[in-house]
Amino acid sequence: MDYAINRRVKELREKLGLTQRDFSKLLSLSGGYISGVEVNARAVNDRLIKLMISEFGVNEDWLRSGEGEIFAKKKINEKAARIISLFNDLPSHYQDVVLGTIELLRKANETEHKRKSKS
């Protein structure tokens, strides 16, 4: 087994500033599973790779081979570009309000998604 990919999973988690518990929770996996990956007791499979790409925007080439940047470069769509432009024009205290609002919206979206997946 190539353990280098396991080390990159741990590197990613640490780069994101997440505990094993929080990292695994965001991926809907058990903490024990991620712990097993990090200590080379479990292999990194395609499902885990796809989850990390989807959730964290990881560059698949970096994850599999260590080549390139950790995070994939995403093209910014027109709405995102407009948001960034407007955001940059705001004073710092308003930027904090915008960030807080976005975090609340993200949590509400997660809650709605969880509710829908249970039904």
Contact partners, residue 51, CB within 8 Å, separation at least 6: 27, 28, 29
| Per-residue confidence (pLDDT) for residue 1, from 0 to 100 | 65
Range of the domain at 32: 4-65
| Per-residue confidence (pLDDT) for residue 103, from 0 to 100 | 94
pLDDT tens-digit profile of 72-95? 887 777 888 888 889 989 999 999
Of the pLDDT bands very low, low, confident and very high (cuts 50, 70, 90), residue 5 is: very high
DSSP assignment, residue 40?
Answer: T
pLDDT tens-digit profile of 31-78? 899 999 999 999 999 999 999 999 999 999 999 999 999 998 877 778
Cβ-in-10-Å burial (0-12, 13-18, 19+) of 18 comes to middle
Residue 72 within a domain: no
What's the mean pLDDT in 10-30? 94
33 with 58, same domain: the answer is yes
8 with 58, same domain: the answer is yes
Integer Cα distance of 66 and 56 in angstroms: 16
